[in-house]
Amino acid sequence: MNKALIFLMLLIVAAGLAACGGGEEGEPEGSATPAAGSVEINFWHSEVASNLDTIQRLARRFNAEQDEVEVKMAFQGNDEETMLKFMASLGSGDVPAIIYLAEVDAQRVMDSGA
């Protein structure tokens, strides 16, 4: 499967989980919320060049085709920096909804039980 298709599938799964998740009522803590009724998905990545163009294009298209979920892409540095920031975010509870990791880093996260 190519990376663009995997990315799109992850977006769909994350959007579904974000839209159906919750259970607590009331205003969430944190920064300003997106437009009424929409969910904001933070997407951390370390991609550059052609891969970056592809995932940005997919995110823009996804955002343009619906108004319930907005994907916010955030470059986090190289693969190692992205992994370190993600592991640190686990302790603070401020984790992204989606993170694009190298295969070896994804395995490290799974092995850690995070």
Q: Any idea where the domains of the chain sit in the sequence?
A: 3-14+40-112
Q: Given this model, what pLDDT does residue 10 score? A: 60
Name the residue among 108, 16, 85, 99 with its Cα closest to residue 55. Answer: 99
Low-confidence ranges of the chain (pLDDT < 50): 17, 20-32
The token pair at 38 is 């929409």
Strands of 1-114, DSSP E = 39-45, 69-75, 98-99
Which CATH number is 3-14+40-112 given?
Answer: 3.40.190.10
Q: Given this model, what pLDDT does residue 93 score? A: 86
Q: What is the pLDDT of residues 5-37, one digit of tens each?
A: 565 556 555 555 455 444 444 444 444 455 567
Q: Given this model, what pLDDT does residue 110 score? A: 84
Q: Given this model, what pLDDT does residue 25 score? A: 46
Other beta carbons within 10 Å of 84 = 14
Measure CA 89 to chain center: 13
Amino acid identity of residue 96, one-letter, is P
Sign of the CA dihedral with 81 first, then 106, 20, and 7 last: positive
pTM of the model as a whole = 0.62
CA dist., res. 73 & res. 47, Å (int): 11
